[in-house]
Structure 1
Amino acid sequence: MAARAAEQALEMASPASKRRRIAVACSACRVRKSRCDGQRPSCASCLGLGFACQYESTESTNVLVRKDYLFELEQRVAANERMLQQLDHLLRGHLSDCANGEVLHPPSSAMTVRADESPHRANELEEPRDEDTSTNGMAMTFIEEPTSAFFGESSNISFAHLLLRATAAVRQPTPTVQTAADRDCVLVQSSTGRPSHLPPSPSATSSDLPKLSITTLPSTEDMDGMLDVYFDTCGVVFPCIHEGTMRKTYAECKANGFARVRRTWLGTLNMIFAMATKFDRDGDDIASAKSRLEQSNVFYKRAMELCDDLSKRVISLEIVHYLVLVVLFCQGTQRSAQAWNMHGVLVRSAVALGLQSGRSRDGLDPRTEESRRRTWLVIYCLDKLLSMVYGRPAAILDEHMAGEQTISVLHQLSPDALFDTMDLPGQFLAVSSRLYHLMSQSLVKQYGANINYENSGLDELASLQASAGFRKLLRLWASNLPSRLYLCDPRSDVLAKNTQVNRLRVILTLRYHNVSILVHRPLLTSTIRHLFRIDKSPENPSSYLIPPIMAEAHECISSAETTIEIVHGVIAADPTSRNNLGVWFFTLYYVFTASLVIIGRLLWAKHGQIAIDDAAAHQAKLLLDKAEAIFQNLNQQDPLVSSCSRYIRNLSGMCSRAGSCENPIDLPSAPTGMRPDDIPISAPNSSDTNQLDAEGLEAFGILTSEMFDPSVFDNFGLAGTGIAPDNPI
């Protein structure tokens, strides 16, 4: 009985399994009329027999879907979502690193919102979208973009190539291979080193700045100080922005807490801050140089975020002012290509606004009319300057300025007009525009407008006559200057007294000698070609023309000497940015141009004649040492200045020792017999380029890629001299 009771209990505990019905059987099981377990994507029968398991849709409304199948679908969807999120995070991180540069830098204090910055923000601004960080679904990585740059006869690069050819002629009198250096113009090809998904300029994207940082403004005290610095320095040299109007709008925005502002005005304000930050206000120029450079770049990037897109769509006077400041700012950085491109946008915007037309000013109030005319004069001066620097055709013809050249003194625009008898910035702009008009005539007549068409150059007699004619015009221009804008000499007390009038006199003197170098350099070029027998044509100049050509070439050398002496004297008296030199990167260009001329004189003195001219060689070395001291003290820790310093040092060393092929060329040492008081400011450090950070090395690479053609060193046997860049781009 007990056994039967246990058997019954077992039967009750495990009832017979019932056949589980499924809603839909697969097609194969239905044809074979076999049992289908309904598993998806393949049932057990089809899986075992190797059949293709397919389920046909049914019109039945009572189809049952198993919960485990829905659970599997949810898991698969969740897995796909997690994978997409991982890919999105990966691409965001990759594109963010590319936007920050090729080398990862630690977060800079200047790139974050400072604690002492004003809490005011321009709340009415529309934030631009950052499309570079969106996932493209391809995991695509952009490679480096090739770039080419043309530099014509008036550029320093063309003259530097002539010096390299003369040096190669000393080392190897009969070169058998013709290189790119044999041309007066230079076409440089390199890589940008930046991915193509970024904008063509090295301006920062929104990933570089914190959220809403483009509308962040400094404290009121800092903004007031930077406005004062700008209108006392750059605003005087390039007086296109009316100070009274700018300060009035600034006061209105400050009164309402910057709640409603125009993007164009705020972008212009940030560019003013970017320019003003380059000048030292704390009296500690060396210690604050790096932080000022970083903060200046922050203001520049904010302005680009605000107005870069608008500058291509909006035509207004504020946009033109913004573009003027961008072009000026980019000339002081390694953004040389961007400076030229933005200048093209500037000229087109100004022409579209009608600044070149006097009729467009009819009916305007006197202040607006004068502001528009001054803006056009500033753009004209920048156009001629960039045409000379890059060796490219100018965008503004002299015929467009016919009505402006007759005006000798500009109208009064300063707010204290009742107390000023003369408008100093307007007067300075008027005489500067006439000087740049002479520069434009020289570019057209002596350099073929930098077009470099066939037979565009002058013969020796015509070149001699042109230089003599422009020398007379330059002296006539100098004699007609107002009394308080007279040119100064290197021994003048004006260099040491820091006043606004003295600063303008020094700047005007440097501009004068720079144009003098331009008009006389063709004769120095002819002299070097003759002495080192690197003329294009087999016929040499007539013997009776050689002495006057060499005599006229000394005018070019004299202007270069005066340029270096004046800048050296100003820096010796006051090495800070509050001295009488004005905007430092224009001074850098003047000294760099003069240094190339002095290197040509050194090459002439040591290797261009039968007997070495020791006195001229000694004087040239003294001037080059002063030039290096200027580079060392001009703007501390700036990569562009360090690049120019090393370039001049290497090139002068190569030209000085061009005749000795046994040993690699070392850096030029100070000449024997130099007195300690010859160079009162700090001497350059021979290892300065070894201490450059990644940004400095990148700037040097960009500079050397524009200056040096690697084929020059390969084909002329200079690769082993230590002068060629280690890694030219």
Structure 2
Amino acid sequence: MSSDLSALPEPSPKRRRIAQSCIACRHKKTRCDSLRPACSSCRAKGLSCEYEQDSLVAIPASTLARIEARLSKLEQLTPGFSDEGPRRAEPSKHQHGDAVNDGACAVTETSAAVIIKNLKHAVPSGKAASPTTSTEPSHGTTYINTDSLWLPERPEADILLESYARQVYPLFPILHLPTLRVNYNRIWQTSQLSNHSLRTTSEDVLLYATLNMILALGRLNSTSNEPRKCREQAMTFYERARRILTLDAIDSPSLETIQYCLLTTQYLMFTSRFNRCHSAIGIAIRAAQCIGLDNAVETGWSQPKREMARRVWHSCMLFERLVCSLFGRRVTSFTDSAVPLPIPIDDENFSEDGISPRLQNLPSVTVAFEISLNIFRIIEDARWITVPKEHISLDELTAVLRLSERLDRIQESLPAHLQFSTIADNSLRGSRHDVFILQHVAIMIRIAHVRLLLLRSCILEAARLHSSLQAEASSPPRTTDRLRMETCHICVQAAIDTIDLLDENLRAPLRVMSCIALFTAFSAATVLIAASLIPELEDRYELPGNRITQVMNVLTSHRWQIDGVASAIEHIEQYMKTVDDIKARRVAPRGLSISGSNGPEPIPNKAQAPSDTSGIHDESTLGMQGDAFFDFDLSDPLWDLDWNVTADSLGL
């Protein structure tokens, strides 16, 4: 038998594995011959070849001999070791029961990750199976071309960072400002940017991407002498942040990566890339769920970590509802009540072991954030109300008015430092006076946005009714009709107050330059245009009057910050022409159309209709009994606001 075995050919030796490939080859996942000082691949490409420091250390033979002798001595002294090898002790029943209880979960939650976690608890520490070497790259260190890690000159960067801190952060306190400033100053104290191939940690990469996104937001809200370059320069910072870290490259979610996603969402709201904006907030929410921000598990957390985790999760909810209300998307239902609201305390007053005393007679900047959460939670509740295009029932109208009343209660219960009468008081003048004015205007704009979102369907229904030539022959108004008309009055007054607020904001020290301000101005304008078709509203409020001129000024002031301003102005002008034509047809005798000062002219039939009607439609198109608003559809969430989105602008 032994002779047969000896006759077998000896197996060929295995290929010698490289003990450690160089950094560049491992990063590119290419074969490395591990030659020193430079491997063949790096030498051929003219790249600098580096190895991990621990792999370059040579261990003397004497040290290995001492280690082997010590291990032999320990094996003789330690019970349970024999010539047969180590024996794993069987866990007791008590230990096994504790392991099962610690990993208990519902049947529907027994995912593969949970099973692996339970198996790890079941295996005694230090006696696990032989470890396997992961082929995934390390998340702690990232090797990139440092040309992407770029910031502008320090004076310019300081101005843009201060612009973000004064005009953006008070409205959306996503970050912890003291930590941001420490990291920002640390970047300028390093001199590593001179190296072309720089080993940079993933935290540094995320910091550079976050700072570029912050600078983009700061540029959009800065009072620069060159406003025409505002969007172009902000886009440069945004594209550089995307080159540093794209959203689909986030492998390990963390609080910082979620903050980066929220900043990206906030920037994209200024652009026409609303599909990309909607995707960014979706990534932020899923990443927050991955690290458990929606579970309110805060045992052992320090106060800064706990409060920032709460703030980030509720920011995700706020942006989800805001983005969906702006871009006409269905709000995804999330339960945010399980996570407590963040404590209204400023970042610099956080402490590691409890709540530090607040500054006396100086309200926190974060109070406005909690108020905004309550405002946009109404959007979540409004998604259960279905308002048909044809007719609004009494139950639906009652539900809408109840939500509008909640907005009234929020507005009436504003703290003193966010009420206009108190802000105008000289006693509050100081470093935060302008910030409180900014927050007051932003809160009122958000309230107006949600209120118009709720009530504008009533204006649409009434406008459609009065656009018909037979509107005067309708039956006497009932109680429900009077309630609908009163709701229209509330909506029109809200639109007027909103336009006045936005117009006054143009002269404020810190202006609210945001997508929601643009959309709210557009909504208010279309409400007044539609309401001008209702004689009772037109006579009482002298619609549309000079309010449209104010709206045009507001929209024009946003033209250097936000895409789509020109399209919004064009749509408002088109709507005004459509409504003016409906008014002319309503007052003209049958078969006649008012045109200029030369008296009535016959309405052209289909054969005589001109090729370009400029928004004016012939009798067959308008319809005696039909809907005159086929291209003035206020039931759409955007009120038919076309942002001229192309496949190229969406990155498709």
Residue of structure 2 aligned with 1:644, choices 568, 578, 586? 568
Match of 1:511 among 431, 446, 453: 446
Output the CA distance in 2 between the equivalents of 1:457 and 1:663: 28
Instruction: Indicate if the aligned counterparts of 2:274 and 2:327 stay in contact, CA closer than 8 A.
Output: no
SS at match of 2:294: coil
Shift in Å at residue 519 of structure 1?
2.5
Q: Which residue of 2 aligns with 1:379?
A: 316
Q: Does 1:569 align with 2:504?
A: yes
In the TM superposition, what whole-angstrom CA distance separates every residue of 1:383-418 from its partner, at most 9, and x where no partner exists? 111222233221242x3324436x6x4344225977
1-side partners of 2:533 and 2:258: how far apart? 45
The correspondence for 1:414, drawn from 315, 324, 348, is 348
Root-mean-square deviation (CA, aligned residues, Å) is: 4.2
- Structure 1: which amino acid aligns with 2:582? A
Deviations 1:308-345 (A, max 9, x none): 15544331112111111111111111112211122222
Q: Which residue of 1 aligns with 2:159?
A: 225
Larger gyration radius, structure 1 or structure 2: 1
Instruction: List aligned pairs for 1:238-253, cutoff 5 A.
Output: 238-253=172-187
Q: Is the 1:411–1:426 Cα contact (8 Å) retained in structure 2? A: yes
Structure 2 counterpart SS, 1:445: coil
Contact 1:523 1:552 in 2 (8 A): yes
Q: Distance in 2 between matches of 1:715 and 1:317?
A: 56
Out of 240, 245, 263, the position equivalent to 1:325 is 263
Q: Note closer, same or farther for the CA distance 1:214–1:713 as it changes in structure 2 (3 Å cut).
A: farther
The amino acid that maps onto 2:332 is: A
For residue 246 of structure 1, report the CA deviation from its aligned partner.
Answer: 1.0
Q: 1:587 to 1:713 in 2, by over 3 A?
A: farther
2:233 aligns with one of 295, 300, 303: 295
> Against the structure 1 CA distance between its residues 644 and 256, is the aligned structure 2 distance closer, same or farther, given a 3 Å change threshold?
same
* Residue equivalent to 1:595: 525
Which of 465, 484, 489 is residue 417 of structure 2 equivalent to? 484
Q: Secondary structure at the match of 1:216?
A: coil
Give, in angstroms, the shift of residue 424 of structure 1. Answer: 2.4
Does the 8 Å CA contact 2:247/2:280 hold for their aligned counterparts?
no
| Cα contact 2:212–2:241 (8 A) shared by 1 | yes
Task: Say if 2:495 is the partner of 1:555.
Answer: no
Q: Which amino acid aligns with 1:333?
A: T
Alignment of 1:364 with 2:301, yes or no, is yes
What CA deviation, in whole Å up to 9, does each residue of 1:623-659 have, x standing for no partner?
1111112222334486522221222122122212334
Letter in 1 for 2:159: G
1:378–1:593 distance in 2 versus 1, CA, 3 Å: same
User: Quick check: 1:393 aligned with 2:336?
Assistant: no
- Tell me if structure 2 keeps the 8 A contact 1:230–1:276: yes
| Segment of structure 1 superposing worse, 364-373 or 422-431 | 422-431
Counterpart for residue 425 of structure 1: 365
Partner of 1:475: 408
Distance 1:322 1:590 in 2: 26
SS at match of 2:175: coil
Q: Find the counterpart in structure 1 of residue 277 from structure 2.
A: 339
Which position in structure 2 is the counterpart of 1:622? Answer: 546
SS at match of 1:313: coil
CA distance in 2, matches of 1:258, 1:594: 52
Specify the code of the residue in structure 1 equivalent to 2:311: R
SS in 1 for 2:347: coil
Report if aligned partners of 1:270, 1:299 keep a CA contact under 8 Å in 2. Answer: yes
Which residue in the other structure is 2:381 paired with?
441
- Say if 2:386 and 2:396, in contact at 8 Å, map to a contact too: yes
The match for 1:581 among 511, 516, 521 is 511
2:442 aligned with 1:502:
no
CA shift digits 1:664-702 (9 cap, x unpaired):
999xxxxxxxxxxxxxxxxxxxxxxxxxxxxxxxxxxxx
Q: CA deviation digits over 1:260-309, x for unaligned, max 9?
A: 45222211110000000112344x3xxx1122221111000001111115
Inter-CA distance 240–518: structure 2 relative to 1 (3 Å threshold): same
Q: Which has the higher contact order (CA 8 A, sep 6+)?
A: 1
Partner of 2:205 in structure 1?
263
Q: Secondary structure at the match of 1:395?
A: coil
In structure 2, C-alpha distance between the alignment counterparts of 1:440 and 1:458, rounded to whole Å: 23
In 2: Cα distance, 1:627 partner to 1:318 partner: 38
Distance 1:263 1:377, change over 3 A: same
Q: Which moved more, 1:337-346 or 1:636-645?
A: 636-645
Q: How does 1:69-218 map to 2 (within 5 A)?
A: 213-218=147-152
Q: Aligned pairs, how many?
A: 446
| Separation (CA, whole Å) in 1 of partners of 2:238 and 2:525 | 31
Shift of 1:230: 0.8
Secondary structure in 2 aligned to 1:214?
Answer: coil
Tell me how far 1:499 sits from its aligned partner: 0.6
- 1:530–1:659: structure 2 CA closer, same or farther, 3 Å change rule? closer
Of 604, 614, 633, which aligns to 2:557?
633
Give yes or no for contact 1:323–1:346 (8 Å, CA) kept in 2.
yes
Provide the TM-score with structure 1 as the length reference.
0.54
**Contact kept in structure 2, 1:628 and 1:649, CA below 8 Å:** no
Contact 2:253–2:290, Cα closer than 8 Å, also in 1 = yes
TM-superposed CA distance for 1:517, in Å, is 1.6
Is there any run of 5+ residues in structure 1 with no aligned partner, and where?
Answer: 1-123, 125-210, 448-454, 667-708
Q: Which residue of 2 aligns with 1:654?
A: 578
* DSSP-derived class of the 1:215 partner: coil
TM-score, normalised to structure 2, is: 0.61
Q: What's the counterpart of residue 237 of structure 1? A: 171
1:564 Cα offset (Å): 0.4
**C-alpha distance in structure 2 between counterparts of 1:510 and 1:712, whole Å:** 39
Change (3 A) 1:546 1:724: closer
1:266–1:414: structure 2 CA closer, same or farther, 3 Å change rule? Answer: same
| Maintained 8 Å contact 1:213/1:302 | no
1:304 to 242, 245, 250: 242
CA distance in 1, matches of 2:390, 2:312: 34
Q: Distance in 2 between matches of 1:581 and 1:601?
A: 29
1:404 pairs with 2:340: yes
**Partner SS state of residue 240, structure 2:** helix
| Matched residue, 2:599 | none
Amino acid at match of 1:603: L
- Structure 1 pair 640/459, CA: closer, same or farther in 2 (3 Å)? closer
Shift of 1:382: 0.9
* Code of the aligned partner of 1:341: S
How far residue 480 of structure 1 moved from its aligned partner, in angstroms, is 2.1
Are 1:277 and 2:219 matched, yes or no? yes
Structure 1 stretch 589-598 or stretch 388-397: which is displaced more? 388-397
Say if 1:436 and 1:469 are closer, same or farther in 2 by CA, change over 3 A.
same
